[in-house]
Structure 1
Amino acid sequence: MAIAATLKDIANSVGVSLATVSRVLNYDRTLSVSEATRKQIFEVAEELNYTKMKRRTATPSKQLKIAIVQWYSKTKELDDLYYMSIRLGLEKRCEERRILATRTFQNDLSAIDPDVDAIVAIGKFSDQQVSALAQLTPNLVFVDQDQLCHGYDSVVTDFRFAVEQVIDFYAKQGHDQIGLLYGSEWTTDGKLEVTDPRYKAFKREMTARQAFNPDLTFAGDYTNHSGYQEMQTAIAQLGDQLPSAFFVTNDPMAAGALKALHENDIDVPQRVSLFSFNDTTIAKYVFPELSSVHVNTELLGATAVDLVENRLQTGRTTPQLVTVGTELMLRESTRES
């Protein structure tokens, strides 16, 4: 087996300096050297098996393959466009980077190519599901769930600051009592109940203001139907004490809540203001249009791909947590300040 040459070996053979050899092999065209000498350096490097020369002429690396694991089913994804928007952003970035992306729904791991370079998991996953994914590849990125403590890259939304902004907005309008419709759900294997992070942020901030009232909070399951049911329950239970403002933690629930208010002849926003979260297309296709916290779902998906590329290209093993900010979109369901 031939022994790779050093720069010194090449310099001695050609009769030039180490610096000259280095600059020629790095294709430095600003170097004043004859074409004959340049050609001789490359020929000697090839003859002596210079390894850097070999790397420059190596074939391009293979196309990266990413498996997208969506915890929702195809049908449920259409009911909550938030997760679909994240997936589309992810697939768009893969197309831009010429990465081969395949997708599977409801954690169907049997559909994942065993030769994938990385997996991007969208949604919520139990410890057992995370372990199963890790058996397929160590290169995991989670979107919408913080798995940093388990050693995996994660991309999440800044829920706490967003909720504080909504509460500040309502406080400036004079709303001292704010109702909350939030969600609760389980991972698809039924082993982990996922508490709505917006509920935690809401309770923390309202408690700090000495204004948290558990009787004004109602738990659903993020669906349009549960938003409708929980608002009906709030109207029936609270009567004239129904608060003048509600924060609803996703758009489908907010649309259902809006329907319940309409059916009970409760004017929005004059009697009750509504503020939603995620700002999917649903927020703009109801009447009145919903004020909503805008989450850049496309950026969430794209950032996950960027983390995969960085990990694979640099060999990084330290996990990273990327938090994406939000923006308040004020529309007709809230009164003007």
Structure 2
Amino acid sequence: MAAQMTGPGAKQPTINDVAALAGVSKKTVSRVINRSEFISEKTRTAVLEAIETLGFVPNPQARALAFRRNFLIALLHDNPNAQTVLNFQQGVLDAIKDSDLALLVRPVDRGSDQMLDDVRTFLEKQRPIGAMLLPPISENDDLAALCDQLGVRYVRIGSAPLDDAQHCISSNDHDVVVEVCRKLIALGHRDIGFVRGPAGFRSAAEREKGFHEALAEAGLKLDDAYYAPGNYRYAAGVEAGEKLLSLAKPPTAIFCSNDEMAAGVMRVAHEKGISVPGQLSIIGFDDSPTATHIWPALSTVRWPIREMGVRAAQLLVPDFLGPVGKAADEEDPAALVSTFIERQSVAPPGR
């Protein structure tokens, strides 16, 4: 079919024109435009050819009105680690780049008594198709229930399963920390320090649980002095480093619950003249850019947060982006595996 001539004075084609040319109903044209999976390939092809022939451009406002939602998906977060938010956001943008969807990013205050009311107001005003909830607010069951009540699709991101498979993308923080600590123990480390994540974060709890399990498995019980509080920020790592490396018998290895804090510990080690990894091994978690920007390069756990963003978007709006894909070696596309990345910050004790 030849394309219809258009110009300044030409009448703009309508959805009714497309339906008439394709020999289908206006509702069917709308379903094709909105990428519904409940359309035969023959019908889809006929409608798309009619759209191309007429030069029809769908009106996003009209589509949103018909859909009763704006073509938006929201990312809600209250996370102290800006890099985590940025990496997840990039994954979402990777997923939606060829669609008509746009991303809204909304920080919230999980410590506020008004959090649920604020989120309700935001969702009612913006009318997104769905919302992705980053930890730690993803662990709030009342927030998930609010999305359900408002008819807003939601996906919760976690370090362990938080919901049914239709509403959750998770990683295996506990298991990978067990694996990493086994490696430290196999190298000969017995005095191993641990820098905790912030209280109330499931990720922090899962990582600490994995640490305890690995030590118990090896018959090791460490003094409480080898544990330091943390909050996923660099300054907390500096404080933890001062505490642990000022002990009369400091640890020979320190596992930090994220890379920012590991960088803080490494700074203190350098200031005290402690060789890394000759006298002290350090491991982080995330595999953020920080891990390769410090010296020596940090051994860490690669948390697949960008891939989690891709999967979360696909799980949230499969009618726009297609079904959730998975790698050939994965059993569950909603569960992504974290992996240990060995660099130069780990060695046997006293090397």
Give the Å deviation of 1:196: 2.7
Give the Å deviation of 1:77: 4.5
CA contact (8 A) 1:77 1:84 kept: no
Equivalence for 1:175 = 189
Give the Å deviation of 1:145: 5.5
Equivalence for 2:305 = 297
| d(CA) in 2 for partners of 1:156, 1:149 | 10
Equivalence for 2:96 = 94
Bigger shift: residues 118-127 or 300-309: 118-127
Equivalence for 1:223 = 233
When residues 178 and 67 of structure 1 are mapped into structure 2, their CA distance, relative to the original with a 3 A threshold, is same
When residues 170 and 230 of structure 1 are mapped into structure 2, their CA distance, relative to the original with a 3 A threshold, is same
Match for residue 280 of structure 2 among 235, 255, 272: 272
Match for residue 207 of structure 1 among 209, 216, 229: 216
Instruction: Structure 1: state its 5+ residue gaps.
Output: 1-45, 47-51, 188-192
Letter matched to residue 224 of structure 1 = Y
| d(CA) in 1 for partners of 2:184, 2:159 | 28
CA contact (8 A) 1:141 1:152 kept: yes
TM-score by length of 1: 0.71
CA contact (8 A) 2:133 2:155 kept: yes
- Matched residue of 1:184: which SS? coil
Give the Å deviation of 1:91: 2.2
| d(CA) in 2 for partners of 1:184, 1:327 | 22
CA contact (8 A) 2:244 2:251 kept: no
TM-score by length of 2: 0.68
- Matched residue of 1:143: which SS? strand
When residues 114 and 134 of structure 1 are mapped into structure 2, their CA distance, relative to the original with a 3 A threshold, is farther
In terms of fraction of residues, the more strand-rich structure is 1
CA contact (8 A) 1:227 1:254 kept: yes
CA contact (8 A) 2:286 2:302 kept: yes
Q: Which has the greater radius of gyration?
A: 1
Letter matched to residue 244 of structure 2 = A
Letter matched to residue 324 of structure 1 = L
Identity %, equivalent residues: 19
| d(CA) in 2 for partners of 1:292, 1:145 | 16
Match for residue 322 of structure 1 among 321, 326, 334: 334
- Matched residue of 2:229: which SS? strand
Q: CA RMSD in A?
A: 3.1
Per-residue displacement from partner, 1:112-160 (whole Å, max 9, x unpaired)? 3442211111121233333333333341101125564478611122112
1:77-226 superposed matches below 5 A: 77-78=81-82, 81-106=83-108, 109=119, 110-112=121-123, 113-125=125-137, 126-144=140-158, 146=160, 148-149=162-163, 153-186=167-200, 195-215=204-224, 216-226=226-236
- Count residues in correspondence: 272
Q: Does 1:260 align with 2:272?
A: no
Equivalence for 2:50 = none
Instruction: Structure 2: state its 5+ residue gaps.
Output: 1-18, 35-62, 65-70, 110-117, 324-331
Give the Å deviation of 1:274: 0.5
| d(CA) in 2 for partners of 1:313, 1:96 | 9
1:280-295 superposed matches below 5 A: 280-295=288-303
